[in-house]
A and B are shown apart, each in its own frame.
Chain A
Amino acid sequence: MKKKIAPILSLAFMIVLSSCGNSGNTGAVTEKAIASPAQNAAQEPAAYDPKRGEGKFDETNVKLEAPDAARAGQGKAIAQTKCFSCHKTTTEKLVGPGWKGVTERRAPHWILNFITNPDPMIDKDPQVQAQLELCLVRMPNQNLSEDEARSILEFMRQNDGAK
């Protein structure tokens, strides 16, 4: 008996559909609405380079120079406001991992990419995902400017005893 119900039901639904007369009209819906930015950003190529990270920085535009104490000082001041609520300068984990040794573990452009563009990297980088499983708090995007990010990197280098 069940088999017979299905066709009758679908017939009923066809009536509903045809009475709405919207089969040829669906295009109007998409025309009218504005695409949200999140939706535009949704299509991403699968290629992700864990050595480089994702963002505007790579080997070509980040070159390390001799340590710059003044800049490191600026970086520390920015970190006071935006980073030290969650990170210590030692190896100890607070909300996020300690900073000691980070410039030895990660390439400078990777660090710059991560601190200015954390969300896509948290979603894609296997090592960052492993870190998230420990911390359970996604690193917030703190809206660092490029200049602020470079100063923080300089402070991280100083913290690691760069010469």
Chain B
Amino acid sequence: MLTLGIDLGSRKVKLAALRDWQLLWLRDFDTIPFYKRYGGMHEGRLTIDFAALELFSGGEQPSAMVVTGYGRNTINLEGARVIPEIQAHVLGARFQTGCDTFTLIDLGGQDTKVARVEGGILQDFLMNDKCAASSGRYLENMAQVLDISLDELARYADNPVSLDATCGIFGESELIGKIVEGHPLPHLCAGINATLVKRVLPMLRRFPQDMLLVTGGVARNQAFCRMLEQATGARLLVPEHPQHNGAIGCARHAAAGA
């Protein structure tokens, strides 16, 4: 049995396919080019041209498809079920790790979610509001200011410079000020990663700190994960495919319902 999960994120569209409950493949696209290339308006609703995506060889079709993320209410995907994001992420985290009791932190392009799951049941959750200064997009901006890659940024956790601007855009000029002061690149990078930890800690503090699962693109930032582990004292686990966690959750949901 073949199932497909789609997570329509603010920065990336992620896809996951499962065959007989085993991960078959993962794919992702930048959101805007994805909509430009594969999206179209049909009777006032956005439609995705799945044939053009060439997801499956030999004309094979998934027996079930589940979608989540931004725009899932307006996108007309024939035969697709839509589920809330938080549900997709919890399902993905359980599928990937086998854990049933944990606190999940998902750091995406613009959204940060923290969810508490006990015995497999979602107990409570929080999301950032009206400000995306604690998201992946912030890291992208700052890496761009430093003219380095996200992978390079993710290497440094020691001797962080202090960055205090509330606004992610003002943070850029603050960072430029620190460059001018002569701080070395590793310390600047560590400062950026530390800012993210400071921003998410108040959200995390409301939940038990026993087992912390980190997902979303930001989970690939090792320095952030290390600093978060130190700050919380929690056992921290990053699933194998953190960025595709929501899409995997959708595919898993599709498999259960197919």
A and B: interacting chains = no
List residues of chain B with CB under 8 Å of any chain A CB.
none
